[in-house]
């Protein structure tokens, strides 16, 4: 019988497991399926990395993840532990993909990372034919559920794929799942709530959550300066993230900080990918400890010593808020979340919601334009599309929303034209049914309302309110949030 702890020490160099890593690994090694809910930074990756080091010849651990941008990093990290690992996704050239699939077919690799779209490709099934799947890992499993905050239609087919792979044990992992989402995950993989669910807790007792009600931008900026000053007073080079919903607000704030001579980095969708990457690296290496970012920043970013996260604008849900705040204090030391709330922002989010879930006809029309006018679209991209869809409101970003929906459905794929996308297949009735934009919009509105109730409830400990939202009970108040103090 293998001594798990010894193996952990010798192979990974960690003295001991964190709860509930051992429990998960023991089950998996007994070929049992399970769903584990563990907070961000708790060490979910170790559970499948560990399993992959115990694969027999020809066995492999297959990880499905929606986070294409992180796969390279995840696979490099695994290789640092001498795990033979790779990833296949749309960022690779056709040749490179081919090469990697060839190696998989030949029996190389213990651990591979793929996005769910990969299963739509016959070549991928072909290369797995000669391999035995020891464990089918579903990372960010909340993406299965329409009630989650990041629904991916491709995720709903994962159980089908798993069956086609001969029903290997599944390990579903996530950090954020409300009761509804948990139900969906259990149901999808035919798991039993009493036997196959491990709740690793979502507790983050070292986080001090604070809400500041502000009136207008000037007051926000004053508050911001004060927060930045007090954090640099407490610790030199203390590192932090400021989150924004809108790129425009981010840029305004950046100019303000510049005028106040506060050095900072920026990360958002309008910056070219190579610049974004460099900004992220500079932040991770602490060259500049402050970064202004949109929510895309931080997914899977593993920087243990972030001391504060500031929300300059209201996020879209409690899930999003807690995930973002949760990037602070992973080292277990005290860290803070500072939420600058202004009622005006609420209307921005409401409007945001309106544009984020366009009508079916709108999505279909955007697809038609992209597929019927590839020459113009590839060069003039969004400008052309917006012009054709004739709308005047500058903040109306339905075209962008439609493009990312089509991309998610696999109707578009990325390429290296100035526009960045090309048509693959027309959206079908099933696509529209599987992901009904109106249902999503309503769910999202409910989530925003729950967040608003959280902001306004200054009677109950902040952390307790969040735990309650995730159906998680605790006895004691945190003692360090604005309500407790």
Residue 17 partner contact from Mg ion, ligand ADP, none using kind-dependent CB cut-offs of 5 to 8 Å: ligand ADP
Residues in 11-50 at the binding interface with Mg ion, rule: CB under 5 A: 44
Applying CB under 6 A, the span of 17-25, 229-237, 376-384, 404-412 interacting with ligand ADP comes to 17-25
Q: What is the per-residue binding string for Mg ion in 44-73, x denoting contact by CB under 5 A?
A: x-----------------------------
Buried b (16+ CB within 10 A) or exposed e, 197-232: bbebbbebebbbbbbbebeebeebbebbeebbeebb
Q: Which is nearer to Mg ion, 67 or 364 (CB)?
A: 67
Q: For the purposes of burial, counting CB atoms within 10 Å of the CB of 247, is it exposed (0-12), middle (13-18) or buried (19 or more)?
A: middle
**Binding pattern to ligand ADP, positions 269-308, x when CB under 6 A?**
---------------------------------x------
CA distances in angstroms from 163 to 29, 74, 144, listed in the order given: 19, 26, 16
Give the 3-state secondary structure of residue 85.
Answer: strand
> Closest distance between ligand ADP and the C-beta of residue 372, in Å?
42
Return the one option of ligand ADP, Mg ion, none that residue 38 interacts with (CB less than 5 to 8 A, by type).
ligand ADP
The residue ranges of DSSP E strands in 428-475, in sequence order, are none
Residue 71 token pair: 């796969």
- Please tell me whether residue 207 binds ligand ADP under the rule CB under 6 A: no
C-beta nearest to ligand ADP: residue: 43
Asked if 463 touches ligand ADP (CB under 6 A), the answer is: no
> What gap in Å lies between CA 140 and CA 148, rounded to an integer?
10
DSSP-derived letter for residue 157 is G
Number of neighbours of residue 441 by Cβ within 10 angstroms: 15
- Residue nearer to Mg ion on the CB measure, 339 or 470: 470
Containing H/E element for 211? strand 207-213
Q: Hunting for tokens 């009630």 — which residue is that?
A: 147
Question: Nearer to ligand ADP by C-beta: 11 or 157?
Answer: 11
User: Could you say which of Mg ion, ligand ADP, none residue 43 binds, taking C-beta under 5 to 8 angstroms by partner kind?
Assistant: ligand ADP
Give whichever of 21 and 145 is closer to ligand ADP, judged by the CB atom: 21
Nearest CA to 258 out of 213, 225, 232, 287 is that of 225
239 scored as a contact of ligand ADP (CB under 6 A): no
If contact means CB under 5 to 8 A according to the sort of partner, which of ligand ADP, Mg ion, none does residue 40 touch? ligand ADP
Residues in 25-84 at the binding interface with ligand ADP, rule: CB under 6 A: 38, 40-46
Task: State in angstroms the smallest separation of the CB of 354 from ligand ADP.
Answer: 32
Measured at the CA of 128, the angle between CA 123 and CA 28, to 5 degrees, comes to 145
Written as one string, the DSSP assignment of 341-385 is E-HHHHHHHHHHHHHHS--HHHHHHHHHHHHH-HHHHHHHHHHHH
> What is the nearest approach in angstroms of ligand ADP to the Cβ of residue 395?
34
Site size toward Mg ion (CB under 5 A) is 1
CB of 421 vs Mg ion, minimal distance in Å: 27
Q: Smallest distance from the beta carbon of 94 to Mg ion, in angstroms?
A: 29
Residues 301-340 that bind ligand ADP (CB under 6 A): 302
DSSP result, 296-345: TTTTT---TTEEEEEESS--S-HHHHHHHHTTS-TTSS-EEEEEEE-HHH
Rounded to a whole number of angstroms, the minimum distance from the CB of residue 44 to Mg ion is 5
Binding mask 157-196 for ligand ADP (x = CB under 6 A): ----------------------------------------
Query: Which neighbouring-strand residues pair with 135?
Result: 61
Q: Say how far apart CA 135 and CA 131 lie, in whole Å.
A: 12
How far apart are the C-alpha atoms of 461 and 464, rounded to whole Å? 5
- Residue ranges that bind Mg ion, judged by CB under 5 A: 44
Site of interaction with ligand ADP (CB under 6 A)? 14, 17-18, 21, 38, 40-46, 302
């Amino acid at each position: 019988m293998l001594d798990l702890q010894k193996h952990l020490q010798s192979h990974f160099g960690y003295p001991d497991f964190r709860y509930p890593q051992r429990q998960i690994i023991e089950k998996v090694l007994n070929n049992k399926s399970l769903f584990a809910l563990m907070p961000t930074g708790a060490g979910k990756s170790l559970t499948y990395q560990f399993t992959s080091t115990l694969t027999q010849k020809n066995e492999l651990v297959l990880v499905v993840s929606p986070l294409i941008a992180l796969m390279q990093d995840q696979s490099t990290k695994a290789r640092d532990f001498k795990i033979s690992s790779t990833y296949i996704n749309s960022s690779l050239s056709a040749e490179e993909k081919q090469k990697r699939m060839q190696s998989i077919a030949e029996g190389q690799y213990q651990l591979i990372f793929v996005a769910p779209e990969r299963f739509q490709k016959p070549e991928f099934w072909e290369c797995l034919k000669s391999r035995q799947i020891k464990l089918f890992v579903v990372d960010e499993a909340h993406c299965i559920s329409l009630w989650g905050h990041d629904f991916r239609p491709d995720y709903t087919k994962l159980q089908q794929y798993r069956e086609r792979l001969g029903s290997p044990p599944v390990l579903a992992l996530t950090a954020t799942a409300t009761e509804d989402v948990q139900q969906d995950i259990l149901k999808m993989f035919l798991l039993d709530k009493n036997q196959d669910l491990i709740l690793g807790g979502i507790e983050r007792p070292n986080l001090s959550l604070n809400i500041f009600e502000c009136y207008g931008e000037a007051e926000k900026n004053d508050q911001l300066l004060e927060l930045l000053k007090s954090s640099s007073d407490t610790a030199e080079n203390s590192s932090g993230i400021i989150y924004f919903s809108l790129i425009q607000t981010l840029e305004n704030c950046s100019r303000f900080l510049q005028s106040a001579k506060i050095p900072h980095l920026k990360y958002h969708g309008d910056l070219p990918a190579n610049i974004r990457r460099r900004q992220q690296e500079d932040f991770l290496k602490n060259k500049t400890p402050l970064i202004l970012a949109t929510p895309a920043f931080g997914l899977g970013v593993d920087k243990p010593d972030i001391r504060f996260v500031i929300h300059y604008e209201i996020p879209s849900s409690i899930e999003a808020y807690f995930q973002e705040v949760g990037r602070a204090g992973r080292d277990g030391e005290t860290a803070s979340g500072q939420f600058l709330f202004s009622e005006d922002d609420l209307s921005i989010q409401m409007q945001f919601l309106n544009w984020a879930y366009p009508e079916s006809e709108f999505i279909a029309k955007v697809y038609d334009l992209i597929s019927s006018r590839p020459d113009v679209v590839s060069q003039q991209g969004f400008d052309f599309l917006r012009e054709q869809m004739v709308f005047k409101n500058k903040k109306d970003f339905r075209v962008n929303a439609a493009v990312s929906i089509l991309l998610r459905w696999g109707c578009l794929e990325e390429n290296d034209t100035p526009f960045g996308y090309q048509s693959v297949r027309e959206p079908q009735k099933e696509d529209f049914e599987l992901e009904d934009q109106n249902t999503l919009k309503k769910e999202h509105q409910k989530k925003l309302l729950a967040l608003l109730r959280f902001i306004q409830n200054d009677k109950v400990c902040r952390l307790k309110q969040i735990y309650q939202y995730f159906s998680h009970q605790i006895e004691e108040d945190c003692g360090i949030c604005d309500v407790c103090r």
